[in-house]
Amino acid sequence: MTDIDLWEGMDSVAPAEPNPFDPGSPEYAAWQRQEDAARAEVRAARERQRLAEETERELVRLKARHAAQAQWDDEQAVLAKAQANDAARVHDGASFLLDLPPTPPALWGKGEDILWARGEALMIAGPQGVGKTTIAGQLLRATIGISGEVLGFPVEPCERRVLYLAMDRPEQARRNLGRMFADAEAEIGRGYLSEVLRFWSGPPPVDFAADPAGLLRIAQQHDADVVFVDSLKDAAVGLSKDEIGAGYNRARQLALAEGVQVVELHHTVKNGADGGKPNNINGIYGSTWLTSGCGSVVLLWGDPGDPVIDFVHLKQPMNEVGPLKVLHNRTTGLSEVYHDEDTDVVALARRCATTGVSAQEAAACLFSADKPTRAQVEKARRKLRELVRQGVLMERAATDGQGGRGNGDRWFPAASAAWTGEEETPNERYS
Q: What is the CA radius of gyration of the chain?
A: 38
Q: What's the maximum distance between 2 C-alpha atoms anywhere in the chain?
A: 149
Three-state DSSP class for residue 425: coil
Domain check: are 123 and 257 in the same one?
yes
Please say whether the beta carbons of 169 and 233 come within 8 A. Answer: no
Say if residue 429's pLDDT is above 50: no
Say if residue 417's pLDDT is above 50: no
> Tell me, what's the pLDDT at 425?
47
Q: Is residue 339 very low, low, confident or very high in pLDDT (cuts 50, 70, 90)?
A: confident
Domain check: are 231 and 322 in the same one?
yes
Domain check: are 83 and 196 in the same one?
no
Q: Is residue 91 very low, low, confident or very high in pLDDT (cuts 50, 70, 90)?
A: confident
CA within 13 Å, CB half, 134: 25
Q: Is 184 left (phi over 0), alpha (psi -120 to 50) or beta?
A: alpha
Domain check: are 81 and 153 in the same one?
no
The share of the chain scoring above pLDDT 70, in percent, equals 87
pLDDT digits (tens, 9 = 90+) for 135-175: 999 999 999 999 889 999 999 999 999 999 999 899 998 99
pLDDT digits (tens, 9 = 90+) for 74-84: 888 888 777 76
The domain tally of the chain equals: 3
- Lowest-pLDDT range of 167-176, 202-211, 274-283: 274-283
> Tell me, what's the pLDDT at 229?
97
What is the spatial distance between Cα 90 and Cα 85, in angstroms, rounded to a whole number?
Answer: 9
Domain check: are 210 and 305 in the same one?
yes
Say if residue 38's pLDDT is above 50: yes
Please say whether the beta carbons of 336 and 330 come within 8 A. Answer: no
- Lowest-pLDDT range of 56-65, 372-381, 399-408: 399-408
- Residues 417-424 have a mean pLDDT of 42
The domain boundary, picked from 59, 85, 100, lies at 100
Q: Is residue 110 very low, low, confident or very high in pLDDT (cuts 50, 70, 90)?
A: very high
Say if residue 193's pLDDT is above 50: yes
Q: Is residue 257 very low, low, confident or very high in pLDDT (cuts 50, 70, 90)?
A: very high
Q: Considering only CA atoms, which of 346, 366, 357, 362 is closest in space to residue 416?
A: 346
Taken in order 379, 323, 317, 384, the sign of the CA dihedral is negative
Domain check: are 273 and 350 in the same one?
no
Domain that holds residue 390: 345-430
Q: Residue 173 corresponds to which amino acid?
A: A
SS in 3 state form for 382-405?
HHHHHHHHCCCEEEECHHHCCCCC
Say if residue 101's pLDDT is above 70: yes
Supply the DSSP symbol for 268.
B
What is the spatial distance between Cα 366 and Cα 342, in angstroms, rounded to a whole number?
Answer: 8
Domain check: are 331 and 182 in the same one?
yes
Q: Which of 30-34, 103-107, 365-369 has the highest mean pLDDT?
A: 103-107
For the question of whether the overall pTM of this predicted structure is more than 0.85, the answer is no
Domain check: are 310 and 364 in the same one?
no
> Tell me, what's the pLDDT at 280?
85
CA within 13 Å, CB half, 163: 23
